[in-house]
Amino acid sequence: MSLLLQKCASYTRARDARDAGLYPYFLNFDERDAGVARMAGREVVMCGSNDYLGLSTDPRVVTAAAEASARYGAGCTGSRFLNGNLDLHDRLERELADFFGKPAALVLTTGYQANLGAIAGLCGPGDLILIDKEAHASLIDAARLSRAKIQWFAHNDTADLAGKLRRTGHRGGVLVVVDGVYSMEGDLCPLPEIVDVCEEFGATLLVDDAHGAGVLDKGRGTCSHFGLTDEVPLITLTFSKAFGSIGGAVLGDEEVIDYLRHNARALMFSASASPANTAAALESLRILRDEPWRCTAVADNAAYMRRELTALGYRAGAGATPIVPVDTGDVLATLHAWNLLIEEGVYVNAVLPPAASPRLRTSYTAVQTQEHLDRAVAGFAAVRERVLGVSVAA
């Protein structure tokens, strides 16, 4: 085997977990909705999806996707730049800008690409990117792709950010990059302080609001939650969570968005979001506007689970978002806990390094019923001794 490929043969981490019967990834669901899913014919309560508003299986969203496929085809077979642009993409941009309160929007094929497009489109060698240590992988990849100088600041630590900006002596452009809601811990960024620091040092701020958009402040997201939409020049979004589809967007001023339209390689050199996905996102946005109860329901469901899990003795993060992390100890303890919960019919996500420190990431939706939640609580109660016992021993 060539030198390059030798690492594949010696890579045993996944194989070891499979051999031990503990492998928690790439499982397939035979059926799913936002409340339950079926795996190999068995029903599990879904406490591990990002379908926060329950829209991915909403009949109106599914119908919009089917009708768009029938009208425009299954794919656009080209980038928006050349031959893959539909009236649907343009309409979605106008409606997103209007809903989120920014002058303009640019729709890309995924949220990952929205971050690549925005960051690598705007920054280059000679610029400096200051990025939160817990920022999403797509933001890190985007920063690296840009070839700008990268510096990390401690998670949510605005004093560290300010100190680094004060000491940098950097003369080029400076971009500060944060998540609105951190995807693994479910905590918010301290946006008012970050905005102040950026203003003090003349830095541009980008907030990735993948997990806040559609959820916080009647869906208007983290920046609106803090009343700071006008103060944040760049916001990125995904449609793969609250919007129940696939796609992403960058929001900002007209001239910035127009610049990205012609300079964001992740937009220009990749096929546009499919008609089905674009129409689904548009329909989700309409429903989000008309049915703000969904944002209240997802917050209530997550708060209920956070309370119940804490009462059972789990350390279940203190945030106020649909993401409720559960501390499980080390890698092996996390894999064991995940498997025990599956046996009890509860689906959660096993998070391991390098994504984050080991934990179970649980997340909730607006359409889970009390019965779904109580089944999940019963599952966590049934495995409590073994999970917390393993965790203490670890």
Kindly report the backbone phi and psi dihedral angles of residue 306, in degrees, each rounded to the nearest multiple of 5, phi listed first: -60, -45
Task: Kindly give, in sequence order, each residue whose CB lies less than 8 Å from that of residue 47, ignoring residues fewer than 6 positions away.
Answer: 305, 346, 347, 348, 362, 363, 364, 376
Q: Is 151 exposed, middle or buried (0-12, 13-18, 19+ CB in 10 A)?
A: middle
> Based on CB atoms, which residue is closest to ligand PMP, 317 or 329?
317
**Does residue 158 sit in helix, strand or coil?**
helix
And the tokens for 147?
Answer: 């070839």
Asked if 361 is part of the footprint of ligand PMP (rule: CB under 6 A), the reply reads no
Span interacting with ligand PMP, options 65-73, 158-166, 206-214, 309-317, rule CB under 6 A: 206-214
Residue 146: how many other CB atoms lie within 10 Å? 21
> Based on CB atoms, which residue is closest to ligand PMP, 84 or 329?
84
Asked if 238 is part of the footprint of ligand PMP (rule: CB under 6 A), the reply reads yes
Asked if 243 is part of the footprint of ligand PMP (rule: CB under 6 A), the reply reads no
Which DSSP letter does residue 49 get?
-
Contact between 274 and 247 (Cβ < 8 Å): no
Binding mask 163-192 for ligand PMP (x = CB under 6 A): ----------------x---x---------
Distances, alpha carbon 25 to alpha carbons 93, 350, 351, in Å: 34, 8, 10
Residue with tokens 């499982």: 27
> Based on CB atoms, which residue is closest to ligand PMP, 138 or 204?
138
Restricting to residues 126-165, name those near ligand PMP by CB under 6 A.
Answer: 136, 138
> Based on CB atoms, which residue is closest to ligand PMP, 32 or 375?
32
CB of 238 to ligand PMP, least distance (A): 3
Asked if 208 is part of the footprint of ligand PMP (rule: CB under 6 A), the reply reads yes
Asked if 284 is part of the footprint of ligand PMP (rule: CB under 6 A), the reply reads no
Distance CA 325, CA 235 (A): 25
Distances, alpha carbon 336 to alpha carbons 28, 40, 52, 345, in Å: 19, 20, 26, 14
Distances, alpha carbon 5 to alpha carbons 1, 8, 9, 219, 297, in Å: 6, 6, 7, 46, 49
Contact between 305 and 269 (Cβ < 8 Å): no
Asked if 112 is part of the footprint of ligand PMP (rule: CB under 6 A), the reply reads yes
Distance CA 224, CA 193 (A): 15
Span interacting with ligand PMP, options 62-70, 84-92, 204-212, 336-344, rule CB under 6 A: 204-212
Kindly report the backbone phi and psi dihedral angles of residue 156, in degrees, each rounded to the nearest multiple of 5, phi listed first: 55, 25
Count of residues of this chain found to bind ligand PMP when the rule CB under 6 A is applied: 14
CB of 385 to ligand PMP, least distance (A): 33
> Based on CB atoms, which residue is closest to ligand PMP, 148 or 206?
206
Span interacting with ligand PMP, options 24-32, 203-211, 314-322, 334-342, rule CB under 6 A: 203-211
> Based on CB atoms, which residue is closest to ligand PMP, 142 or 309?
142
Residue 193: how many other CB atoms lie within 10 Å? 15
Binding mask 55-94 for ligand PMP (x = CB under 6 A): ----------------------------------------
User: E strand or H helix at 323, and its extent?
Assistant: strand 323-327
Span interacting with ligand PMP, options 106-114, 120-128, 344-352, 353-361, rule CB under 6 A: 106-114
Span interacting with ligand PMP, options 8-16, 110-118, 277-285, 350-358, rule CB under 6 A: 110-118
> Based on CB atoms, which residue is closest to ligand PMP, 186 or 248?
248
Q: Which residue is nearest to ligand PMP (CB)?
A: 111
Distance CA 216, CA 187 (A): 12
Binding site for ligand PMP (CB under 6 A): 110-112, 115, 136, 138, 179, 183, 208, 210-211, 238, 240, 248
